[in-house]
Amino acid sequence: MPLPESDSEPEAWLTLNLIPGLGGEGMRALLKAFGSPRLVLEQSQAHLAGVVSAKQVRAIAKGPDSARLDESLKWLASANNHLVTLADTDYPQPLLQTADPPPLFFLKGRRELLAKRALAVVGSRNATPQGIDNAQAFSAALSHAGFTIVSGMALGIDTAAHRGGLAGASSSIAVVGTGLDLIYPAKNKSLAHELVEKGAIISEFSLGTPALAANFPRRNRIISGMCLGTLVVEAAVASGSLITARLAAEQGREVFAIPGSIHSPFSKGCHALIKQGAKLVESAQDILEELGTSRFAAVNQGATPEQITSGLPVDGFLEVLGYDPVDFDTLAARTGLAPEILSATLMEYEIAGDLASLPGGKYQRLI
């Protein structure tokens, strides 16, 4: 099914992607055999039959639903909408190295975030208030330390993770299980708009794809695959976030888990992961150290190299803080740290229970 020469390469990608029954595996096999979607579509049925099944050959010959193709092209023509394919240089390299990378995905928002290091933060939809606080605080600290926070835009821990990531310097990306013309869950409409403006939302599913149960576990391989590690904040033993953690381990990525009460059902999934070899973490610093990123040497937007490398030793920070309440500006002057680095540092120590934030924007050492 040749395309006119005047048609763009994105149209060829979308055409192949919309072939019913082809799927990612069939599409990758054809791309490997013939080099590009346009060349695939120009092949004879005899040539195609040597790569994919007879049913798939007939589907390619028939072509996609023209209305869906037109709708996709119209969507792509709008500002802030992007198509990212295996042929693009900014396709996330960690995801490219997995066993089942999507041949393409749709992106709405800041495409440049794909080039940043990423960390997945996931957990229960029915999270506890402490779990919500932990997810947001860890995500903000890690975002300030140079990691884009990736999650699934579900309610509970995912939502808190995105909000924490957006509050930090490196923002957040949501990987969703529907087409990007839909918002699911509807309660996260305002979050979705904020992600499009300040972060990004991505999906391998074509426009119009509804919230089908089977699609959410499938999208989890992308959440874990595009990240250097996955942090599970809270999870029951049957939580879908454990699927993401399992996929991360299979992909050779680090898995982190926050422990909790032995009496809480929302801690049992994390405890099971720790028993299986996940790394127990009590602060964002634990994750940074495991990934080879020190607290003060982290890449951080808005901070100069001099500001980043002038950090104090970790064990010297509390010495500078002292025991009397001190405000942010005074502490910034004492340490010489960039505001973003100082904010992340204070948050990490607060999570660890080493200091407390007081009314009036002051901080006090607790140990």
Report residue 330 as tokens: 């005074």
Amino acid residing at 256? F
CA angle 21, 226, 108 (to 5 degrees): 70
Q: What pLDDT score was predicted for residue 284? A: 87
Q: pTM, whole model, 2 decimals? A: 0.80
> Which domains, and CATH codes, for the chain?
1-67 (1.10.150), 108-290 (3.40.50.450), 305-365 (1.10.10.10)
User: For 263-278, how does the pLDDT look when each residue is reduced to its tens digit (9 = 90+)?
Assistant: 999 999 999 999 999 9
CA 272 to chain centre: 23
Q: What pLDDT score was predicted for residue 316? A: 65
Under DSSP, the state recorded for 105 is: E
Q: At 5, give phi and psi (nearest 5°).
A: -60, -25
Euclidean distance between CA atoms 143 and 119, whole angstroms: 9
Q: What pLDDT score was predicted for residue 313? A: 39
Determine contact, residues 90/39, Cβ cutoff 8 Å: no
Which parts of the chain sit beneath pLDDT 50? 1-7, 294-315
User: For 342-355, how does the pLDDT look when each residue is reduced to its tens digit (9 = 90+)?
Assistant: 888 888 788 878 88
